[in-house]
């Protein structure tokens, strides 16, 4: 299965545990990066029974020099970019993760029962134990910008490269 979409998201630190009562599902996985450049990121993610190969476009400032938008834009705290996901056999994903990635990390993703958007909380393990991030994904920049945030949501880090998974994996 191939998923092609424009990803629009906001990312926040989590400042409380109120989200835990909203969990409807969770998945532990490892993810690693096969390539990263200014224009594209290639990631493999492996869970217990699913693996994905993902290609993401770069984040760009709104309104490129040519006046057209290609790939992705970053508006305020919002990130918008092309994302292509391909489901791959778990054995292939494991082999890619173990042998071809230059950086990797592990986390448990919790899917929250929240209206209107896709809310996920990532609880990192290993060298990032204690780091908890919220991602809110939606279909449009305007709708996500107006998202009402619960009191357990901390500082926004959408445009802070220190909290990009690819950068965390490299450390």
Q: Which residues have a catalytic role annotated?
A: 33
Cα–Cα distance measured from residue 69 to residue 1, given in angstroms and rounded to the nearest whole number: 27
Residues 145 and 76 sit within 8 Å (Cβ to Cβ): yes
Residue for token digits 């919002």? 78
Residue for token digits 């532990």? 28
Nearest to 37 by CA among 23, 16, 20, 57: 57
Cα–Cα distance measured from residue 35 to residue 151, given in angstroms and rounded to the nearest whole number: 37
E-assigned strand segments in 15-157:
23-36, 40-46, 51-57, 72-75, 78-88, 103-112, 118-124, 132-138, 153-156
């Amino acid at each position: 299965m191939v998923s092609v979409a424009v990803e629009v998201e906001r990312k926040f630190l989590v400042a409380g545990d109120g989200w835990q009562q909203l969990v409807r599902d969770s998945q532990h996985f490892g993810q690693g990066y096969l390539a990263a450049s200014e224009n594209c990121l290639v990631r493999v993610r492996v869970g217990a029974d699913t693996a994905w190969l993902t290609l993401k476009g770069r984040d760009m400032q709104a309104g490129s020099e040519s006046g057209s938008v290609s790939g992705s834009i970053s508006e305020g705290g919002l990130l918008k970019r092309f994302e292509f996901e391909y489901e791959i056999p778990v054995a292939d994903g494991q082999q890619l993760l173990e042998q071809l990635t230059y950086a990797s990390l592990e986390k448990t993703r919790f899917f929250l029962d929240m209206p209107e958007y896709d809310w996920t909380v990532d609880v990192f393990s290993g060298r990032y134990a204690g780091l908890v991030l919220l991602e809110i994904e939606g279909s449009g920049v305007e709708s996500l910008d107006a998202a009402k945030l619960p009191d357990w949501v901390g500082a926004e880090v959408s445009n802070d490269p220190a909290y990009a998974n690819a950068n965390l994996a490299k450390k």
